[in-house]
Structure 1
Amino acid sequence: MRVSAFPCSDDVLPDTETLVSLPEAAEILGIPVTAVHQLLRDHQLLAIRRNGVAGIPSRFFDDNDEIVRMLPGLITVMRDGKYSDEDILRWIYTPDDSLPGRPVDALHGPLAREVVRRAAAEPF
């Protein structure tokens, strides 16, 4: 039985955003690379194809080598709102002066729940 491929978005992020390869993500999380593929299929993470190689934004991981706590919920809320993976990536990497900064950065601090609340309130 062949497992389906994992979803991988077009690269809509600035070139300055660091990506980690899927094997590197597996090492960070302490799981097999096949488990990373499953996280992508389950939309707990998003991958980007840059220069023909799949990668995950490094900001999706915290200092404890875990997925940023509110990220899977944010992805779910936005997918439920009919956002494409590319739209989600654009939104979380676009600066918002009222946060202040980018939602992806706010996910690492006390404004993480506010980011998810705003995503739920955004009109599609």
Structure 2
Amino acid sequence: MTDDDLSQNHWLSLPEVADALGLQLREVRAMVREQRLAGMRRGPSSAYLVPADFLSTDAADEAPGPLPALRGTLIQLSDAGYSEEDAVRWLLRPDEALGSTPIAALRAGQVHAVRRVAQALAF
């Protein structure tokens, strides 16, 4: 995946994530440390940015926060040897087996399908 492919996504700085979720910046940083959220350094200033698709902010029955299925998927990718940046790139790249990007499949509730594809990456 090239940087041009990544630029099609909407990216948020950590302060923007904190504002979107109604949290303090330290709480968002803790989410990154705990693998509940992920991002990567981008742009001319190499700012740490998070894809907006990783957040769940508009569900009426859910409190705003990281997409619930994201943490388990990030941990699985980490266990498969993926760096945080590699995991973000994988989640945003279209996957033939899923018929969409893994993050779109997670947002659509296809958690098991995404994790099945991610599990195969370790072998």
Structure-1-length-normalised TM-score = 0.80
Q: Is contact 1:13–1:89 with CA below 8 Å preserved after alignment?
A: no
- Correspondence 1:44 to 2:36: yes
Long gaps (5+) in structure 2: none
- Counterpart-to-counterpart distance in 2, 1:54 and 1:111: 28
Mapped to 1, the partners of 2:31 and 2:70 lie a distance apart of: 12
What displacement does 1:12 show? 8.8
SS of the aligned residue for 2:41 comes to strand
- Report how far residue 13 of structure 1 moved: 5.6
The CA deviation at 1:71 is: 0.3
* Aligned pairs for 1:84-103 within 5 A: 84-103=83-102
2:112 corresponds to which letter in structure 1?
A: R
Q: Give the aligned partner of residue 3 of structure 1.
A: none
Corresponding position of 2:121? 122
8 Å CA contact 1:70–1:107 kept in 2: the answer is: yes
Structure 1 distance, partners of 2:32, 2:5, is: 18
TM-score after normalising by structure 2: 0.81
Provide the aligned C-alpha RMSD in A.
Answer: 1.9
**Structure-2 separation of matches of 1:67 and 1:32:** 14
How many residues align? The count is: 114
Structure with a larger share of its residues in helix: 2
* Cα deviation digits, residues 41-95 of structure 1 (max 9, x gap): 1222112222222211001012333211110100001111111112212221221
% identical equivalent positions: 32
Structure 1 outlier segments of 4+, above 6 Å: none
